Amino acid sequence: MVGSILIVAVIFILANLPDLFARWLTKRLAFQSSQIQNTPQKTLQYLEWIRLYPLKKAIIALLWLFCLYASVRGIYLSYLTRRTDFFWITAFFIALTILTVRKVVRYLRTPYHCIPLLNRRLSKQHLQELLENEVFELVKFQDRLLKKYVTVLLSQHWAVIDGTLISKNLTYNGYFAHDAFGMKNTNIKITYLNGESFRLRSSSLYCDGLGAVEMMRLCKILSAKK
């Protein structure tokens, strides 16, 4: 009985740890930004870790290397043993390795995944220059759940929502909506002036009542006429 409770407790902690880490890191970013302690490079490093992108890159790279190793090892064993089961397993890993190499390389080489769309058009240095002299402040919500679970930062030209950096100057429209009834998830769709868009989807952004009003107000701030 005690062992089962401990297992459930560990699973609960592990499931909530990324959100807790993200909120702590976002608040730390706001504090250091207000003290003028952050360089653009450091700010972007914080934002990357909020969504655990460096860890995701490492895991993806390791998984792909494992597939490559399994392919080479399988070819060697298939040649030695002439077993058909080795052949089919090897064929699976070879196909997986070849079909995913392009996407994996593109994902690993893309700078700053915390800046969707812009990270595919601008260089790493250019993205850093865009954050020069930006001071981020924590948005103070009135809704109890937003206060507890949602951390949003605003600066003169940027907004940070759920660890994603959004250009206020380029935002044409911000749309806030819940998923289907009973699903505790929220979609925020950001459309830039050139017509390109991306979505933020997170269970930590779920809100209704006063919280929904405040989130819609935030979307209006992002999409204010330039």
| pLDDT (tens digit per residue) in 102-161 | 999 999 999 999 999 999 888 889 999 999 888 888 888 888 877 777 788 999 899 998
Who contacts 139 (Cβ-Cβ below 8 Å, separation ≥6)? 152, 153, 154, 218
C-alpha–C-alpha distance, residues 65 and 62, integer Å: 5
pLDDT above 90 as % of the chain: 27
Q: Are 82 and 151 found together in one domain?
A: no
pTM: predicted TM-score of the whole model, two decimal places: 0.78
Amino acid at 78: S
Task: Kindly tell me if the per-residue pLDDT of 183 is higher than 60.
Answer: no
pLDDT given for residue 137 in this prediction: 87
Q: Are 8 and 76 found together in one domain?
A: no
Q: Are 42 and 76 found together in one domain?
A: no
- Give Dmax (Cα) for the chain: 69
Q: Are 11 and 45 found together in one domain?
A: yes
Q: Are 67 and 159 found together in one domain?
A: no
Q: Are 125 and 171 found together in one domain?
A: yes
Structural domain of 149: 2-51+113-222
pLDDT given for residue 150 in this prediction: 78
Judge contact between 129 and 177, C-beta under 8 A: no
SS3 at position 171: strand
C-alpha–C-alpha distance, residues 48 and 115, integer Å: 9
Last residue of a domain, one of 109, 139, 157: 109
Q: Are 69 and 142 found together in one domain?
A: no
Q: Are 84 and 148 found together in one domain?
A: no
Lowest-pLDDT range, 42-51, 68-77, 136-145?
A: 136-145
What confidence category does residue 166 fall into, taking pLDDT thresholds of 50, 70 and 90? Answer: very high
C-alpha–C-alpha distance, residues 154 and 169, integer Å: 12
Q: Are 176 and 80 found together in one domain?
A: no
Amino acid at 71: S
pLDDT given for residue 144 in this prediction: 80
Last residue of a domain, one of 109, 133, 148: 109
**CA gyration radius, the chain:** 22
User: Which residues does residue 5 pair with via DSSP β-bridges, in sequence order?
Assistant: none
Angle, alpha carbons 16-8-184 (nearest 5°): 45
Q: Are 97 and 123 found together in one domain?
A: no
Q: Are 146 and 182 found together in one domain?
A: yes
Number of domains in the chain: 2
Last residue of a domain, one of 68, 92, 109: 109
Q: Are 103 and 200 found together in one domain?
A: no
